[in-house]
């Protein structure tokens, strides 16, 4: 009995297995064959760029928009999205929103606007409301920065024909070294420049010569702006991030490349191609001493000069010089004798401009505030009347950040310098005009809580807001100031 029961069970099990196999074959034979090489595209809720002009006709996570920072406060704004993308001229594309089972397709309705000034990239931008029922196109093949804000209901399509590298580590300082486009396809775009000397300092990347682009306006009234630059670190770039440090040990010739790929977005690389001669060593500080500022005693009478940002060989100072028989000054990198210097006797390059030497520098014949500028690269010393200016919008500037005669401070005869009236509600920016080779902000300072704070070789300063009609007063005897 036991053997017969087991035999019966085995027979029954075999029959069941055969039936399952037949059913399995029946059901699987109804499907199309699966190609193991076909990629499986998983699309999550969000915004995508789609269409014939780009790499993907349908939504693909490689072209998914990301939430980004509002440049105004450099914090993430939940309604502000951006994407760098390669686009082909004349072909249609859209912004496609996927939200569960709902799909919204945006396109059309944009106007071309010529944008420049206010630290924005100089270019023609397509801008307008987020509308449905149409398509977007671009006039030229290339990389584009597509930006939109769902709260403001505004779309920008910004061309990126070139990237720039700039900063104290670069040959032109904080003036752009251009990286032109060298290759284009809808899956990869390359920008590159070769034989660039990089020195110890810092740098950033930006495109079309701008730091930011307004979303709700293209002037100083914009409250939402997208960063058009990258900082942070080379391996972890951040829109609007801090300056990227460059070490002295890495100095040399470089090929600098900006690569956009559909899979990885923007990636920047620095490739070392050759060695460079080391730069001269310059002191960290320069001090002024002498009878023209009170006496020759290092313990009580010296004044420290201010370094010029990104130019380690340059220092400046505004101070009161007291005229008198044989009143003079000298300079030293330390508060002691031994390394001190002055001027070459009788060697006057131009009025107020002297060659660095060993003799005392006689002060001008009229007491007053003077601007002293020491350049250790050219070995020159300049003494001139102070050239202090309001800068930017507070001076009524149109965005050029130029030294304007109408924005120049004047001496009031009582150991103080006074500005013209502030032209517009804005941030206070002040600077000294030292040398045509310098950018204005490299000799910048500000009045903060009643004290003149010099930028020197440090980062951007705390901002102070001023209103139209206010007057700024500066006293360089004790480095105090007021805004009234």
pLDDT digits (tens, 9 = 90+) for 100-126: 999 999 999 999 999 998 899 999 999
pLDDT tens-place string over residues 62-84: 999 999 999 999 999 999 999 99
* H helix or E strand, kind and range, residue 256: strand 252-261
> What pLDDT is attached to residue 37?
54
- Give dist(CA 329, CA 319) in Å, integer: 12
User: Does the pLDDT value for residue 419 go beyond 70?
Assistant: yes
Record: fold of 287-384: Immunoglobulin-like (2.60.40)
Length of the chain: 484
Report the share of the chain in percent with pLDDT over 70. Answer: 91
Rounded CA separation 143/141 (Å):
7
Q: Is 409 in contact with 378 (CB distance < 8 Å)?
A: no
Q: Please state which of the ranges 26-35, 39-48, 418-427 shows the lowest mean pLDDT.
A: 26-35
Per-residue model confidence (pLDDT) at position 266? 98
- Alpha carbon distance 346, 69 (integer Å): 58
Calculate mean pLDDT across residues 307-333: 94
pLDDT above 70 (res 23) = no
Q: Is the pLDDT of residue 4 over 80?
A: no
User: What average pLDDT does this structure show over 255-270?
Assistant: 98
pLDDT band at 22 (very low <50, low <70, confident <90, very high): very low
Which pLDDT score is estimated for 413?
75
Asked whether residue 41 carries a pLDDT value surpassing 80, the answer given is no
pLDDT, mean of residues 258-266? 97
DSSP E strand stretches across 208-247 = 212-214, 225-227, 229-233, 236-239, 244-246
* Rounded alpha-carbon distances, angstroms, from residue 341 to 118, 284, 292, 346: 43, 16, 15, 15
List residues bridging with 411 in a β-sheet.
417
Mean of per-residue pLDDT scores for the chain: 90
Mean pLDDT for 369-387 is 96
The sign of the CA dihedral 281, 284, 286, 287 is negative
Whole-angstrom distance, CA of residue 262 vs CA of residue 464: 42
Q: Which of 18-22, 120-124, 186-190, 249-253 has the lowest mean pLDDT?
A: 18-22
- What confidence category does residue 39 fall into, taking pLDDT thresholds of 50, 70 and 90? low
If you search the block for the tokens 């005693």, which residue do you land on? Answer: 297
Among the listed residues 28, 228, 201, the one whose alpha carbon sits nearest the alpha carbon of residue 118:
228
Average pLDDT over residues 256-271: 98
DSSP classification of residue 9: H
Assign domain 162-274 to a CATH class: mainly beta
In sequence order, which residues have a C-beta less than 8 Å from that of residue 465 and are 6 or more positions away?
Answer: 425, 426, 427, 428
- What is the pLDDT confidence band of residue 183, given thresholds at 50, 70 and 90? very high
Q: What is the pTM of this model?
A: 0.73
Residues of the chain with CATH 2.60.40.3620: 46-160, 287-384
Tokens of 369: 């505030």
Higher pLDDT among residues 418 and 437, named by residue: 418
pLDDT band (50, 70, 90) for residue 377: very high
Q: Is the pLDDT of residue 259 over 70?
A: yes
Architecture in CATH for domain 388-483: Sandwich (2.60)
Q: Residue 136: name the closest of 214, 255, 76, 50 by CA.
A: 50
Domain with CATH 2.60.40.3610 in the chain: 388-483
The residue-averaged pLDDT of 183-190 equals 98
Q: Tell me the average pLDDT across 202-210.
A: 97
pLDDT given at position 42: 60
Q: Can you tell me which residue has the tokens 């919008």?
A: 393
Architecture of domain 46-160: Sandwich (2.60)
């Amino acid at each position: 009995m036991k053997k017969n029961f087991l035999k019966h069970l085995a027979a029954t099990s075999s029959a069941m297995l055969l039936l399952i196999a037949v059913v399995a074959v029946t059901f699987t034979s109804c499907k199309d064959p699966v190609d193991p090489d076909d990629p499986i595209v998983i699309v999550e809720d969000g915004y995508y760029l789609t269409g014939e002009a780009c790499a993907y006709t349908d939504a693909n996570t490689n072209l998914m928009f990301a939430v980004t920072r509002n440049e105004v406060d450099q914090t993430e704004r939940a309604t502000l999205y951006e994407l760098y993308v390669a686009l082909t001229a004349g072909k249609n594309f859209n912004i496609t929103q996927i939200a569960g089972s709902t799909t919204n397709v945006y396109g059309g309705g944009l106007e071309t606007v010529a944008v420049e000034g206010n630290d924005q990239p100089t270019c023609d931008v397509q801008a307008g409301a987020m509308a449905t029922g149409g398509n977007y196109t671009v006039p030229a093949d290339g990389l584009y920065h597509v930006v939109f804000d769902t709260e403001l209901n505004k779309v920008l399509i910004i061309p990126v024909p070139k990237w720039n590298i700039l900063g104290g580590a670069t040959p032109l300082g904080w003036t752009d070294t251009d990286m032109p486009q060298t290759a284009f396809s809808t899956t990869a775009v390359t920008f590159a420049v070769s034989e660039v000397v990089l020195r110890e300092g810092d740098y950033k990347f930006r495109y079309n010569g701008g730091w930011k682009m307004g979303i709700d306006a293209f002037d100083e009234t914009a409250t939402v702006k997208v960063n058009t630059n990258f900082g942070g670190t080379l391996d972890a770039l951040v829109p609007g991030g801090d300056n990227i440090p460059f070490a002295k040990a890495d100095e040399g010739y470089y090929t600098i490349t900006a690569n956009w790929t559909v899979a990885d977005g923007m990636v920047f690389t620095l490739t070392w191609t050759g060695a460079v001669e080391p730069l001269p060593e310059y002191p960290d500080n320069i001090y002024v001493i002498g009878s023209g500022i009170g006496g020759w005693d290092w313990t009580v009478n010296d004044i420290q000069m201010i370094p010029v940002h990104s130019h380690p060989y340059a220092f400046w100072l505004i101070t009161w010089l007291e005229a008198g028989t044989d009143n003079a000054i000298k300079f030293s990198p330390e508060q002691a004798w031994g390394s001190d210097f002055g001027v070459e006797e009788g060697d006057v390059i131009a009025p107020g401009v002297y060659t660095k030497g060993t003799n005392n520098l006689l002060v001008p014949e009229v007491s007053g505030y003077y601007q002293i500028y020491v350049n250790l690269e050219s070995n020159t010393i300049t003494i001139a009347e102070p050239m202090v200016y309001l800068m930017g919008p507070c001076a009524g500037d149109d965005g050029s950040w130029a030294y304007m005669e109408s924005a120049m401070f004047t001496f009031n005869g009582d150991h103080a310098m006074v500005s013209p009236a502030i032209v517009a509600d804005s941030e206070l920016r002040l600077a000294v005009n030292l040398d045509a080779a310098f950018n204005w902000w490299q000799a910048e300072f500000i009045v903060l809580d009643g004290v003149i704070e010099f930028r020197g070789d440090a980062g951007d300063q705390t901002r102070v807001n001023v209103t139209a009609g206010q007057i700024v007063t500066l006293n360089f005897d004790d480095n105090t100031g007021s805004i009234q």
